[in-house]
Structure 1
């Protein structure tokens, strides 16, 4: 049986990125609409998931095991010798991984820290500038690094430039956006361009929806709890995207749209440097946002060489690579 158990945590304050990229991988492993091939038996194990997290995963039809603690022993009660376990989080150290791998069929670790010795059968790090030299691994560990393994939902794929997208902007600052950077970005966009219409998409764990009620409704659309297909549609219809320097930036690049990225967390620095150095973005900004730098980046939106560079880096074939990988993992003795 092709059984996959995802172990990740996330809340409105931190960690939603772990759940969202694991969920993207889980979606890649669902059966294709035009294929008779059976998909994988996918489950999530999450420590005390919030209603927002449960709702997000329920949209994909994937069951969730609620863990009362983060203890290894509780997780192991749900791991069988038929399971390929995928760990995504900062609390899974080497000893934790070794114990899970001993009980599971295979172990996959989604990483972005590159710390210590990696003992999983497969390590995934989709940061663009990571190399095998950044890792210490066991002899059997396989490294899947860079944009070819971007953890992006298959709903995001290259689209033609929209004819009416010049005066439309898309804003998303990740799943939780605890500091409400979305509100700041929206205000800057509305102030700097009187003709611009903005769609801000708030993650399911974002608690700040009420803070947008005083902004002009004829120029601003506030959306929440969108599916991957709905997100891809909004991005595809916008001439400019302003997003967090996280997986959402990879999603925009996969659709191929001019974008500005904003670093909202320390662990995003490598993604920022990769996208800036490869000229995949109009601007890479940090907090607090400097209005003049933001305005200068927005002014470049009509110059689209970044879009062509995005198409070279993100080929849209990551899902095929992952389906092949996990089929092999499940079949391997």
Structure 2
């Protein structure tokens, strides 16, 4: 009985954060689990993303609880990731499923799931109101990072290479602004821009020199890890991608692109895991200063301490027990 049903949504407008976190967890658990996703009206881009990872998708016509319950069996461990799954929704799913897991980052209201996951680095159990049976998996020890991201040695030719990613959708095309500023700081820099499956802005990068800027879209986790590993600097959104860079261990600048990223920014900055933490609109002088700091690597050694690479093993143990 190792059946997992992941319920998450994502669009160009809302971003793909919930889907990407759930997908990372699914990949960490591996083929020994029967994994499938339930997504409301998934776009072609989302379907291609899941197909690339060999994840079956159940298409839901609505976000209504009743429709999801028709897909839930008593053998399923259901994983919910989304802001719409309130206490009432969770209780109904838990009553029908074998077990319930909730991936959270808001810490609001009573938590009734069997397991609650929040990989924010500075969150504590005292911030949660839980049931006696609830297990909390909190902090960087439970970072939802695809197992393709592993620690790599610094590249010999990486000093003049940078990696840029501002999330799966990047609605406001922050990536373009970042590339523009990086080239003004270092005109010889070679930049790889990774655009998510839901990003509609690929055409806007045509005005950059092709010798300097390479735009990649719909990269697999392995491809993304390879690009990050070959770069001496990463400039990324203050989201799960920042944890992925830190797991590989690279000098990094993070940019807060959404309100719910504030705790991530505080954690990464206060633990000295980044060389710069910026907000929108991007301050060009602060970015330039952070780029200069990237040649020093104390943040890389701190990353290796916080992200120990054992999260996959921890999750496999937890979910094997849940499915028993």
**Normalization by structure 1: what TM-score?**
0.97
Distance across 2 between alignment mates of 1:218 and 1:207: 22
Aligned residue in 2 for 1:74: 67
Q: Which runs of 4+ in 1 moved over 2 A?
A: none
Q: Find the residue that maps to 2:39 and give its secondary structure.
A: strand
Give the CA deviation at 1:29.
1.2
Aligned residue in 2 for 1:204: 197
Distance across 2 between alignment mates of 1:239 and 1:135: 38
Aligned residue in 2 for 1:279: 272
Q: Which runs of 5+ in 1 are unaligned?
A: 32-38
**What does residue range 47-196 of structure 1 map to in structure 2 within 5 Å?**
47-196=40-189
Give the CA deviation at 1:195.
1.8
Aligned residue in 2 for 1:36: none
Partner residue of 1:226 out of 216, 219, 223 = 219
Deviation string for 1:64-116 (max 9, x for gaps)?
00000000000000000000000000000000000000000000000000000
Distance across 1 between alignment mates of 2:63 and 2:70: 12
Aligned residue in 2 for 1:328: 321
Aligned residue in 1 for 2:296: 303
Deviation string for 1:238-260 (max 9, x for gaps)?
00000000000000000000000
Deviation string for 1:96-152 (max 9, x for gaps)?
000000000000000000000000000000000000011000010000000000000
Q: Find the residue that maps to 2:272 and give its secondary structure.
A: coil
Q: Find the residue that maps to 1:222 and give its secondary structure.
A: strand
Deviation string for 1:16-69 (max 9, x for gaps)?
1000000000001113xxxxxxx1000000000000111111111010000000
Report the count of equivalent residues.
Answer: 324
**Normalization by structure 2: what TM-score?**
0.99
Q: Find the residue that maps to 1:213 and give its secondary structure.
A: helix
Give the CA deviation at 1:155.
0.1
1:14 aligns with 2:14: yes
Distance across 2 between alignment mates of 1:138 and 1:68: 32
Distance across 2 between alignment mates of 1:172 and 1:97: 33
Aligned residue in 2 for 1:35: none
Give the CA deviation at 1:15.
3.8
Q: Is the 8 A contact 2:15 2:170 kept in 1?
A: no
Q: CA RMSD, aligned part only?
A: 0.5
Aligned residue in 2 for 1:257: 250
